[in-house]
Amino acid sequence: MKKNILTKREKQVFEMLIINKTTKEIAESLNISEKTVRNHISNAMQKLGVKGRASAVVELLRLGEISL
């Protein structure tokens, strides 16, 4: 799997998820709809081949896509 698998926006969403932001807070912060936030999360999970947000976060950390 190559680096930079996520779009800039998908990465932003996950960076906010790991600091415990809700979907609503992420949407407000990025000035997008909650549905768009969920779409970014779903797209990222599909790219990573994982089920669930937690698994996606673990995989992104492992790949060095995001950091704590």
User: Is the whole-model pTM more than 0.85?
Assistant: yes
**pLDDT over 70 at 10, yes or no:** yes
Q: Are 37 and 27 in contact (CB under 8 A)?
A: yes
Burial class (CB in 10 A: 0-12, 13-18, 19+), 45: middle
Q: Is the pLDDT of residue 2 over 60?
A: no
Supply the angle between the helices 8-17 and 34-48 in degrees, to the nearest 10. 100
Q: Which residue blocks in 1-68 are alpha helix, DSSP H? A: 8-17, 23-30, 34-48, 53-63
* Predicted confidence (pLDDT) per residue in 24-61, tens digit: 999 999 999 999 999 999 999 999 999 999 999 999 99
Grade residue 5 by pLDDT with cuts at 50, 70 and 90.
confident
In this prediction, residue 3 carries a pLDDT of 58
